[in-house]
Structure 1
Amino acid sequence: MESSRRSEVLEAAARVRTVLRQHADAADEEARVSEPGMAELRRSGLMGLLVPQEHGGLGGDLADLVEIAQLLADGCTSTAMIWAMHCQQTDALVRFAAPALRDRLLPRVARGELYLASITTGPGTSGHLLSNASPLSGTTEGLQVLREAPIVTGGTHAEGFLITMRSSPDAPESEISLVYADREQLDVVERQDWDTLGMRGTHSLGLKLTGVVPRSQVVGEDGGFRTVALESMAPVGHLAWAACWLGAARSALGGLVGLLRSPERPRSIDVRSELVAERLARIRMDLELVGGYLHRVTDEVGQLRAAGSSLAGTATQIHLNTLKVTAAELTFRSVDRMVQLAGLSVGYRRRSSVPLERHFRDLRSAALNYSNDRLLTATGALTLMDRSVQLA
C-alpha cells in the first residue's frame, strides 16, 4: 500500500479504535456486538482492507491486516476479532471465488455493505476445518444448504456467509466444498445463546441455516476446500488472531505502565522494587517474542504469496501453527502476570481504570479458538517430516 494511502488507513483505524474503546465495556457486559463499533468500521472503509483497488477496496496486504488488527484490539478485542475474521473470509473470496462472484461481492464488501461471517464448525467436528458431516444436495434450482453451526462469530449481523459442507451426500467427510450464501438466500434461525467467560462482544450464537444457492457460488473447486484452507483461511486466521491477541495484551500493558507512572498508582506497588521490575520485564519479554514472531511469519507468508508459491510447505505450516499457539499462550500469560502485579484493587476488580479483568477473560479464549492441542499434535507430526529443521 502506498504511503499516503497507508497514512489515511491508519488514521481511519485510529478513529475506529476510539469508538470501540468507548463501547467495549457495554459490549462485554451485555454480550452483544458493539453496534456503534461495527457502524464505524463500515463507514471507515476498513471492511474492504483486503479488497483490490479495482473492486473499490483499499488494496491492503497481510502486513496491513496485522498492523490494523492490533490497533482495533487496543479498543475492543471482540470487535477486532469480528473484523479480522471478516477479512479472513474476504481473502478467500479474493483468491478463490470465480470472477463473476468476485465482481458481484467485493464492491459490496469495500463499501461496508457486506459483512462476511464464517460457518466452518459443525456439531461433532470440534472445530476441525477439514471434516464436515452436512452434505450439499443438488436440486433443479441449485445446491440445497442445510447446516447447523454451534458458533458463528457475529453471525446475527452478517449479510453473507461462507459455509463449509460435504460436497455431496455420497462424498467422504473429508471432501469439503466452500459455498457463499447471501442472508436473503437463507432461512437463519438462532440456536444457542452466548453467555461466556470472555469474548462476549463477538455474540457468537449458534445458527441453523437452510436455503438454496446457485452452483456458481461454490468458492474454489468443488470438494477443494482443503486448498482454500491451506492457502487462505488458516494462514490469514492465524496471523489475524495473533495480531488481535497481541494488540489486546499491548493495550493492557500500556494501561498498566501508565497507571504505575501516575499519582493514582496503588500504594501497594513500589515501582523501585526489583521484584516489580523483574515482573514487568517478563511481561514485556513475552510480548516482544510474540511481536517478533508474528512479523517474521507475516513476512514469510507475504514473500511466498508474492512469488506465487504455496503455503502448504511443511516448514511454513509449522511456523503458522507455532505462531497461533505461542501467541495464545504468551499473551494470556502476560495478562495473567499483569493481574498478579496489579493486585486485587486494580488487576482483579471489574470497572478498574485498567481493564485487566476483561483482557484476562478475553485472552483465555485464545487457546480454545481452534484448539492449541490440535495444532500441537499436527506440528509434532509435521516435525518428523522436516528433517532440515527450517526454523522461522
Structure 2
Amino acid sequence: MTTGRNESAATAAGARADLAERVAAVVAVIEEEAPKADREALFPDRTLTELRRTGLLGLLVPAEYGGLDGTPRDLVDTTVALGRADMSAAMIFAMHCQQSEALVRYAGPALRARVLPSVADGGIYLASVTTEAGKGGHLFTSRAPLHAEGDWLRVERSAPIVTGGTRADGFLLTMLAPDATADHHVSLVYAHRDQLTVESSGDWDPMGMRASHSVPLRLTGRVPGDQVVGAHRGFHLIGQSVFGPLAHLGWSAAWLGTAAGALSRVVRLLRDPAQRGGFALDSELLLTRISRARQRLDTVHALLRRVETLVTTGGDLSAPSAQLLMNNLKITAAEECHAAVDGLVEAVGLRHGYLRNSPTGLEKALRDLRSASLNYGNDRLHLADGKLCLLDADVTFS
C-alpha cells in the first residue's frame, strides 16, 4: 500500500513539474510580447502560438482525447502564473478553457471526437460569443434566433465584444433555440471558423486589457445539427455548471495573478540594494500600505481556493449559498485586486507607481484591473446576490 502511494505521489509530482515547464515557456514569451501588445492594442499572436505548442490549450481536455487531463486547481494555478506576466494573456487562456470544458461535459460523442483532439494538440483556440447589443449582461438570454434548415442550423449572430475572436479557430455561441417562445430558451452552438463568415465591425482601443483584442464581430454560416452543445434550450444548465463557475474562477485567478505580480515587483524594488536610501523601509505608512495590499490578496486567494474546492468536489452549484459564494468571489477579487494595486501606487509614489516606464508595472496593472468590476458588472451581481440572500434565511455556507 505504501509503495502504491509513493508511486502515485511521484506521478503527481511529475505531472506538476511538466505543467510548470509548459507554463514557464509561455510566460517567457508573454514577457517579451506583452509591452508591444499593450502599447499598440495587438492580439498576442506569439503567446497564442506558444499556448498551442505547449499543449496548454488542452489543459482541461481528457487524456483520451490527447489533453492534459487538468483539474480546476490546474486552471487556477496556470491562470495566476500567466496573470503575473500579463492579464490579457491570462484572460484569453482562462476563457478558452471555460469553452473547452463546456465541450468536454456537454458536447455529443461525435462532436467531442471531432473537436477535442484538435483543442488538445493546439489546433483549435476557442472564443466565447455570449454578448449581444441591447440585452446588457444577461448571460441566460438571447435575441438572435437559430434557424433549423433540415439537418443544418443557420447562424446569424452579432456580438459587441468577442475576446480573441479575430484569431479563434472555433466559437461557442449562445442563440435562441429554433422552437424558442421566450428569450431564455437559449441553445449553445459550436461553429468552426471554416463554417462561418467572420466579419469584424469595429475597433478595440480600451484603457486596459488592450491585448485581449475584444472586437465586435458578425458571424454567419451553417453548421450541422449535431453541433448543438447539450440540448436545445439547455444552456441554462451549462451556464450554471460550467460557464459561471469557470468564468469566476478563471477571471479571479487572472486578477489575483496580476495584482500578485505587481506586489512582488514592488517588494523586490524595495529590497533592491541599488535603491538603498530611496525608500524609508521603517516608514509606518509604507509598511502599512504594503501590509494592506498583501491582506487584500490573501483574502482573494482564500476565497478563490474555497470556490475551487466547491467546484472540484462536485457540490450543488445551484444552491443559493453556492451561487452567493461564486458571485462573491468575482466581486471581491475585482474590488480587492484593483484596490491592492491602487494602494501600491500610493506606497511607492509618482516615479515608481504612476510612470509607465517603471519596472513595477503598476500603471499597466491598474489599467487592466479597472476592467474587473465591469466584466459582468459587480452591480448586476450584487442585485442577483440580494435576491439569493432572500432565499437563504438560515445564512448557510457552502
Structure 2 length-normalised TM: 0.95
Percent identity over the alignment is: 46
Match of 1:115 in 2: 125
**Kept after mapping to 2: 8 A contact 1:33/1:79:** no
Asked whether the 8 Å contact 2:316–2:322 carries over to 1, the reply is no
Say yes or no: does 1:125 pair with 2:131: no
Amino acid at match of 1:242: S
Residue type matched to 1:388 in 2? Answer: D
For the residues of structure 2 that align with 1:264 and 1:182, how far apart are their CA atoms? 53
Match of 1:106 among 110, 116, 141: 116
- Equivalent residue, structure 2, for 1:212: 222
Query: Does residue 40 in structure 1 map to residue 50 in structure 2?
Result: yes
Match of 1:232 among 235, 238, 242: 242
The answer on 1:339 being equivalent to 2:345 is yes
**Which aligned pairs between 1:283-302 and structure 2 lie closer than 5 A?**
283-302=293-312
The answer to whether the 8 Å contact 1:318/1:379 transfers is yes
Q: Is the contact made by 2:89 and 2:211 (CA closer than 8 Å) also made in structure 1?
A: yes
1:353 is the counterpart of 2:355: no
Quick check: 1:164–1:176 contact (8 Å CA) kept in 2?
yes
3-state secondary structure, aligned to 2:350: coil
Matching residue of 1:242? 252
Q: Cα gap change, 1:170/1:98 in structure 2, threshold over 3 Å: closer, same or farther?
A: closer
C-alpha separation between the residues in 2 aligned to 1:96 and 1:14?
Answer: 31
**Which residue type is aligned with residue 363 of structure 1?**
L
**Superposition map of 1:231-310 within 5 A:** 231-265=241-275, 269-304=279-314, 310=316
Does residue 385 of structure 1 match 2:391? yes
Could you tell me which runs of 5 or more consecutive residues in structure 1 were left unpaired when the two chains were aligned. Answer: none
Please report how far the alpha carbon of residue 265 of structure 1 lies from its aligned counterpart in structure 2 after TM superposition: 3.2
String of CA shifts for 1:289-323, please: whole Å, max 9, x gaps.
0001100111111112xxxx542111111100000
- 93-102 or 13-22: which moved more? 13-22
1:68-147 to 2 correspondence within 5 Å? 68-140=78-150, 142-147=152-157
Aligned to 1:316: 322
Residue 367 (structure 1) aligned with residue 373 (structure 2): yes
- From 326, 330, 336, the counterpart of 1:330: 336
Q: Deviations over 1:252-303 (max 9, x none)?
A: 0000000011134385631111111111110110000000110011111111
Cα displacement (A) at 1:76: 1.3
**3, 23, 29: which one pairs with 2:13?**
3
Q: SS where residue 343 of structure 1 aligns?
A: helix
C-alpha separation in 2, matches of 1:51 and 1:266: 49
Q: CA deviation at 1:170?
A: 4.9
Q: Which shifted more, 241-250 or 137-146?
A: 137-146
| Contact residue 340 and residue 347 of structure 1 kept, 8 A | yes
Equivalent residues of 1:141, 1:212 under 8 A apart: no
Instruction: Please give the alpha-carbon distance, in whole angstroms, between the structure 2 residues aligned to 1:146 and 1:169.
Output: 16
TM-score, with structure 1 as normaliser: 0.97
Q: Is the 8 A contact 1:144 1:213 kept in 2?
A: yes
Q: Secondary structure at the match of 1:151?
A: strand
* CA distances 1:185-225 after superposition (whole Å, capped 9, x unpaired): 00110011000000000000000000011110000110110
Paired position in structure 2 for 1:54: 64
1:131 and 1:335 map into 2 onto residues whose CA distance is 35
- Whether the 8 Å contact between 2:262 and 2:362 is mirrored in structure 1 is yes
Q: Which runs of 5+ in 2 are unaligned?
A: 1-10
SS in 2 for 1:9: helix
Residue deviations 1:71-108, cap 9 Å, x none?
Answer: 01111110110010000000100010001101111100
CA contact (8 A) 2:125 2:168 kept: yes
Equivalent residues, number: 388
Quick one: distance in 1 between partners of 2:276 and 2:32?
25
Relative to structure 1, the CA distance from residue 170 to residue 48 in structure 2 (aligned partners, 3 Å threshold; closer, same or farther) is closer
Deviation for aligned residue 1:166: 0.7
Q: Indicate whether 1:151 and 2:167 are aligned.
A: no
